[in-house]
Amino acid sequence: MTFIDILRDHLDEFNAHYEQQITSSMQQAIFAMLSCRTNTERTSQWACQSCPHHADFPLSCGHRSCPQCQHNTTEDWLAKQQAKLLPVEYYMVTFTLPFELRVIAKHQPETIYQAMFTVAASVLKDFAKNSKQLGGEIGFTGVLHTHNRRRDYHPHIHFIIPAGSFNKDKRQWHKSKGKYLFNSFNLAKVWRARLLEKLTDELNCKLPEAIPKKWVVDCQHVGKGLPALKYLSRYLYRGVLPDRNIISNIDGHVSFEYQNSQTGTTEIRTLPTVKFLYQILQHVLPKGLRRVRDYGLLQGSCRKLRLQIQLMLAVAGAVFPIIAEVKKVVAIRSCPCCQQPMKFMGVHGKKHARLTSFIMQKTREPNATV
């Protein structure tokens, strides 16, 4: 049982129950997922090189919320981030939107998420400039997550930060020492003040009366950067719940498993089927919104400078992490007639595919003319 199977079987009931909450982005995601590998308007065409057999196969939808797609996209992103790793300690700083503001985020997701990125990045840059340990330009990567492990709506941004800075005037890399980067309580105070100011003064958002005085920002030492990057890559492009985590769909209820972040144990959550569908689809992001962003030294435009820093560290004797080669996944299909490999012939539209099939059939016939 997959998420798409459940969605297809209960779509009418879902639409009737959540008609007012379904956004255009959710509608687009639903259409894409239900069309994934079933829509024959565009197909990939394959031909056997050992016998006359040929076949067309529907394409994947490619939507970032689809649990069947984007595996290669995730691997490509992870490979690019690994190439940026430095032989230093890393920290993960997490900025969380308080519960009282999540209603606004649901109604204005693009506005709120963009504001979260802008404000959180400015806080980190200013803290780095004023830090005695850093005092220069830093680099960091931010990833937006909209859920916790129970898949409740819980917008937050994880930032992965290498513990070091670059002094452009002296052309020197300054390595941060110890297991401390920034004070979490001070980060939270500035995060709260700046985000509320941006929402009210710049974006004219109407805020609720009861806003907590204490917000949550977590700053943790995570050792080397690769484990943290792998953690962040889990939910980037393949939906928020892997199909393997869905364990049952019985009597109008769906059960899925998740790992409790506090105890590390695997737990099971059961929801009515329609509520389960909304629990997952509410995390579909607005079209065009970037959920992953690089800042400072980790931006694409700083590649040359980043290579210079890596060279400096290598000359100084630093040991760089060994990066495993990412193997490209090559699509392979075997011929059902002779079991020999089939050759990919291209992607075609429906009319073009029928015409090509007709031509291939005719050209295999003796004395045929087209």
Q: Which of 65-74, 144-153, 315-324, 353-362 has the highest mean pLDDT?
A: 144-153
Q: Helices 24-35 & 273-281, crossing angle to 10 degrees?
A: 110
The H or E element containing residue 116 is helix 109-129
DSSP designation for 137:
B
Q: Which of 302, 316, 313, 293 is nearest to 159 (CA)?
A: 293
Mean pLDDT of the chain: 87
More confident call, 44 vs 42: 44
Please tell me the distance from the alpha carbon of residue 215 to that of residue 191, in angstroms, as a whole number: 8
For 232-268, the pLDDT digits (tens) are 887 676 678 989 999 999 999 999 999 998 888 999 9
- Per-residue pLDDT at 366 exceeds 60: no
- Per-residue pLDDT at 357 exceeds 70: no
C-alpha 113: how far from chain center: 14
Please tell me the distance from the alpha carbon of residue 254 to that of residue 241, in angstroms, as a whole number: 13
The residue behind tokens 């079987």 is 9
Report whether 31 contacts 298 (CB < 8 A). Answer: no
State whether residue 199 is helix, strand or coil: helix
Q: Which of 165, 190, 163, 164 is nearest to 95 (CA)?
A: 190
C-alpha 146: how far from chain center: 10
pLDDT reported for residue 356: 44
- Per-residue pLDDT at 320 exceeds 60: yes
Handedness of CA 354, 355, 358, 359 (dihedral sign): negative
What are the domain boundaries of the chain? 71-240+283-315
Among 30-39, 65-74, 167-176, 356-365, name the one with the lowest average pLDDT.
356-365
Please tell me the distance from the alpha carbon of residue 72 to that of residue 101, in angstroms, as a whole number: 35
- 241: tokens are 């719940």
Q: Which of 29-33, 69-73, 318-322 has the highest mean pLDDT?
A: 29-33
What single letter denotes the amino acid at residue 24?
A: S
The residue behind tokens 């209820």 is 253
The residue behind tokens 């690019």 is 80
Count of CB atoms situated within 10 Å of the CB of 337: 11
Give the model's confidence band at 321: pLDDT under 50 very low, under 70 low, under 90 confident, else very high.
low
Alpha helices in 207-336 (DSSP H): 225-233, 273-281, 303-315
pLDDT reported for residue 87: 85
> Across residues 44-61, what is the average pLDDT?
87
Cβ neighbors of 25 (< 8 A, separation 6 or more) are 284, 285, 286, 287
pLDDT reported for residue 368: 41
Q: Which of 215, 241, 220 is nearest to 101 (CA)?
A: 215
Please tell me the distance from the alpha carbon of residue 144 to that of residue 293, in angstroms, as a whole number: 9
| Strand 153-162 relative to strand 90-96, pairing | antiparallel
For 127-182, the pLDDT digits (tens) are 998 888 887 889 999 999 999 999 999 999 999 999 889 888 888 888 887 778 89
pLDDT reported for residue 329: 54
- Per-residue pLDDT at 190 exceeds 50: yes
Please tell me the distance from the alpha carbon of residue 172 to that of residue 167, in angstroms, as a whole number: 5
Give the model's confidence band at 352: pLDDT under 50 very low, under 70 low, under 90 confident, else very high.
very low
- In the chain, pLDDT over 70 holds for what percent of residues? 91
For 261-293, the pLDDT digits (tens) are 888 899 999 999 999 999 999 999 999 999 999
pLDDT reported for residue 16: 95
Among 19-23, 69-73, 187-191, name the one with the lowest average pLDDT.
69-73
